[in-house]
Amino acid sequence: MLYVNYPEHDRSNNWVPWDFAYNMLQTCEQDAILFTQGDNDTFPLWYMQDVEGVRRDVRIVNLSLVNTSWYILQMKNTPAYKEAKAVPMNMPDSFIEKIQPIMWNPRNMDIPVSKEAIQYYREQKGIELDPEIIKNEKLTFFLPHTMEFGSTKALRVQDIAVLDIILANEWKRPIYFGATCSPDAKIGLDDYMWFKGLSWKLEPRKVSDTNYGIDPVQLETNLMNEPSDFSKTPQNGYKFRELANPDVHFDENTRRIITNYRAAFRGLASYYANIDPQKSLQVLDRMESLMPAEKIPYEWQYAWQMAVFYESLGRTDRAKKFAAEVETACLSLIEAGQINMGSYYNPYRALLDIYEITKEHDKLLNILRRLESNYPSDPTIKEKIRSVERMKAESSAPVPEKEK
């Protein structure tokens, strides 16, 4: 048993937990408050702080534990280290001791943005905030319910605590949500979340459709420049040790953690796609060199995205490589009947995309006719079939000789 199973249990040169924890902490500015959610994005960070002494100024708030009164009291009243500050809160201890979910009617909420905060972002960060926020000295967001019991809507304790911390903080300390946090953890503040790498930072400026909430300067510094040393104090630059080593085994949880890196690289590449396509390709090249697909395979949904992305950047050769993987996976799902046609990520949609990339008209027509048999009255499918038939005819027509 030891001999056969040893490769899967050998942790030699597997630095993913160590580096991921280090990188997430180093995403944060001095004295930050960092919201995490589960075991794999919390315990390694606690190890880094407790044992290695890295970034003890960052106060980690675990969103699973913050549903308990004892943990909230600990966050509020007991700094974890002498280098750390307690988490700011307005809730009195007597309220926290009896805290429980509350009924909630989803509505707009305001977070004050003081003149001091506006001045800080303008002068210290070089960021001009939205005119509306400057004028009203507040930002407004929609706070949805996060629990539902029949017709009763409610907020979880963790949401009450997160909102209280944000209001009590008054923009005095940076607040981050780990990239591993679920979307509902951000209590509706997505429009004010800026992507820094392995965390989203809450800032009093709204994300636009053109920047995707990407902070290209910090993101590029973190992803494209790996420091030679480690630092216990704030330092930009991520470590990516041994991710491409073929002798290191990564289990499912580890591979899932690594997808956070890929999401960061994809975000930066997407930012540069319309500005500087060559820079975008450089970002993708670095990602592939650090965590190659041969070592860490993509799930078909992400392989599909990569195929489409590479095609948009003019790299059809790489797009076709990913397309082949998508085709195999999607045809297997269709044959097994594992299809959710209501989902964006359904295999039919993926196959239509990749067959257009590879210009395999017969395969494309085959998929469209399968769809037509399931949805015979859908006019868009019929029109698409006619369009592909025209393209097929044009591509197979003989090319006339040039007139001499």
pLDDT of residue 401: 67
Indicate the pLDDT class of residue 292, thresholds 50, 70 and 90: very high
Half-sphere exposure of 341 (CA within 13 A, CB side): 6
Asked whether the predicted pLDDT for residue 74 surpasses 90, the reply is: yes
Asked whether 345 and 301 are in contact (CB, 8 A), the reply is yes
Six-digit token string for 125: 């960060």
Domains and CATH numbers, the chain: 16-224 (no CATH), 252-395 (1.25.40.10)
Indicate the pLDDT class of residue 400, thresholds 50, 70 and 90: low
Asked whether the predicted pLDDT for residue 403 surpasses 70, the reply is: no
pLDDT of residue 278: 96
pLDDT of residue 79: 84
Q: Report residue 142: phi and psi, to 5°.
A: -100, 120
What is the β-pairing status of strands 33-36 and 59-62?
parallel
Q: Which range, of 149-153, 211-215, 329-333, averages the lowest pLDDT?
A: 211-215
Q: CA torsion sign, 379 to 381 to 384 to 386?
A: negative
Instruction: Give me the residues paired with residue 202 across strands.
Output: 193
Q: Which range, of 12-16, 128-132, 142-146, 307-311, averages the lowest pLDDT?
A: 128-132
Q: What does the alpha-carbon distance between residue 93 and residue 96 come to, in Å, rounded to a whole number?
A: 5
Asked whether the predicted pLDDT for residue 227 surpasses 70, the reply is: yes
Overall average pLDDT of the 99-120 stretch: 95
Overall average pLDDT of the 97-105 stretch: 96
pLDDT of residue 188: 96
Q: Is 306 left (phi over 0), alpha (psi -120 to 50) or beta?
A: alpha
Asked whether 111 and 205 are in contact (CB, 8 A), the reply is no
pLDDT of residue 269: 96
Q: What does the alpha-carbon distance between residue 216 and residue 346 come to, in Å, rounded to a whole number?
A: 32
Indicate the pLDDT class of residue 338, thresholds 50, 70 and 90: confident
Instruction: Encode pLDDT of 281-291 as tens digits.
Output: 999 999 999 99
pLDDT of residue 402: 63
Instruction: Encode pLDDT of 124-139 as tens digits.
Output: 888 888 899 999 999 9
Q: Is 171 left (phi over 0), alpha (psi -120 to 50) or beta?
A: left
Asked whether 368 and 385 are in contact (CB, 8 A), the reply is yes
pLDDT of residue 397: 66
Asked whether the predicted pLDDT for residue 20 surpasses 80, the reply is: yes
Q: What does the alpha-carbon distance between residue 37 and residue 154 come to, in Å, rounded to a whole number?
A: 20
Half-sphere exposure of 131 (CA within 13 A, CB side): 0
pTM score: 0.91
Overall average pLDDT of the 337-360 stretch: 90
Overall average pLDDT of the 214-224 stretch: 94
Asked whether the predicted pLDDT for residue 404 surpasses 50, the reply is: no
Per the prediction, the chain carries an average pLDDT of 93
Indicate the pLDDT class of residue 321, thresholds 50, 70 and 90: very high
Asked whether the predicted pLDDT for residue 60 surpasses 80, the reply is: yes
